[in-house]
Amino acid sequence: MKEKKSIIKMLTGSREASLVIVLIVLCALVSLRSPSFLSLQSIADMLMNNTVVMIMALGMLCVLLIGGIDISIASTLGFTGMTVGMLLKYHVIENTFLLFLLAIGMGTICGTLVGLAISRGKVAPIIATMGFMYIFRGLAYMVSNSEWAGADALGSFKDFAQIKIAGFSIVVWIMVLCYIIFFVVMKWTKFGRTIYAVGSNREAAQISGINVANVELRVYAMMGALAGLCGALSVSIYASAQPNMQYAKEMDVIAACVIGGVSMSGGRGSVGGALLGSLVLAVIAKALPLVGIDALAQNTVKGVIILAVIILNVITQRMMNKQNLERREL
């Protein structure tokens, strides 16, 4: 009885464990309706189609950890992706590697501008990123010049996402590599520790010698770099470049982090949580059409499921806090 109780306590006393349970339950329910849901091909397609959200969730994790927010990332993605598309359409640059470097560089510059406004200009993150959201999306439309780049104009660049390793698209392996890098950085490097320190107590971090403004600048620049990478990936995955690409996708990215237990007030969250939150969103997006939910109702159902998972997350966090308090009293 005691052993059974300890297992239940272990499962409900961890955000990550509770999310794993949610994932298993969701997958089991969908599989009952659509047995092919858990096939290798289905999983590979699901991961490829959600790679953009999963990668940007890493940057948003860091932004939220320092107590910030960035709603300009989908516009940065659109700007960099549209630029890649037009360069390919007019045969200015056709080298895949150079185009990815350009997109990441452009994204880094966009993120740096956002970071400068917040860290040096002391503009509230929501205000600064809202302004840049319109600026970068506007630049995407200016670059497009009322045109778009279809599959025929993208040449071999569109084939990049079709490269497969062990049954999964290369973009999925890029996402996996990003998660490995961020896991190492956040767990075992000084920069990772400073991000948590700034988010936990900004004033204490400043007093201890951490340059808070520089940390903010680097985090937003990193977020921009990931958005730029995702801009190029989106062009290859969907074989098109349009100025409105991935419109409002920042909401899914933020939702993935919140589902994963990342605190909106900063200082709490993990790479594992961001991954699990992204996977929950990916499963929901894949499952709703399979179980016969009408297209018009999918966003409503998605919102209800997200809200339910977040409530479960809040309950789990309270249980964890209660357990920690009991241990201290002992």
Task: Please report whether residue 179 resides in a domain.
Answer: yes
Task: Please report whether residue 294 resides in a domain.
Answer: yes
Q: What backbone phi and psi angles, to 5 degrees, belong to 241?
A: -135, 120
Task: Please report whether residue 74 resides in a domain.
Answer: yes
Task: Please report whether residue 129 resides in a domain.
Answer: yes
Mean pLDDT for each consecutive 10-residue tract of the chain (330 residues)? 46 67 86 85 93 97 96 97 96 95 98 97 96 97 93 92 94 97 95 94 92 96 98 96 93 91 87 93 85 76 79 71 65
Q: How many domains does the chain have?
A: 1
d(CA 100, CA 323): 47
Task: Please report whether residue 13 resides in a domain.
Answer: no
Give pLDDT, residue 317: 67
Give pLDDT, residue 325: 67
- Which domain does 77 fall in, by range? 18-329
d(CA 318, CA 21): 18
Task: Please report whether residue 30 resides in a domain.
Answer: yes
Give pLDDT, residue 37: 84
Give pLDDT, residue 8: 42
Task: Please report whether residue 11 resides in a domain.
Answer: no
Picking from 149, 178, 200, 185, the residue whose alpha carbon sits closest to that of residue 53 is 178
Give pLDDT, residue 327: 66
Task: Please report whether residue 169 resides in a domain.
Answer: yes
d(CA 103, CA 98): 9
Q: What is the pTM of this model?
A: 0.90
Q: Residue 93's domain is classified under what CATH number?
A: 1.10.3470
